[in-house]
Amino acid sequence: MDEETRNRIEKLERDLFDLNQEVYRSNFKAHQDFNKTSFFNTRLKVPVYDSVPSIAEVGEIICVGGVLLVASSTNTWTVVGTQT
């Protein structure tokens, strides 16, 4: 095995160890944006509220009274699609 391959394996092992430490501590502190389309093969759970919160961060998704809302801008909620 050449030196480059050995170094890559060692780095992957360190990265895997670090990831396992984060998972088992349930303490993720990183943030990563993906600018691609995402498809979910499972459920996407969103928080359910009794009333619309007055504070919103762009991109948040919530459910109020069975209606799905998204924060289209800071502190502004918009109904997703044609729901009533």
Residue 20 identity = N
pLDDT tens sequence across 15-60: 998 887 776 665 555 666 767 776 767 777 889 999 999 999 999 9
24 three-class SS: helix
Residue 53 CB coordination number (10 Å): 14
pTM: 0.50
Q: What pLDDT is attached to residue 12?
A: 93
**Quick one: DSSP state of residue 28?**
-
Q: Is 43 helix (H, G, I), strand (E, B) or coil?
A: coil
CA distance 60 to 19: 26
Task: Provide the 3-class DSSP secondary structure of residue 11.
Answer: helix
Which residues are CB-contacts of 56 (< 8 A; sequence separation ≥ 6)? 71, 74, 75, 76, 77
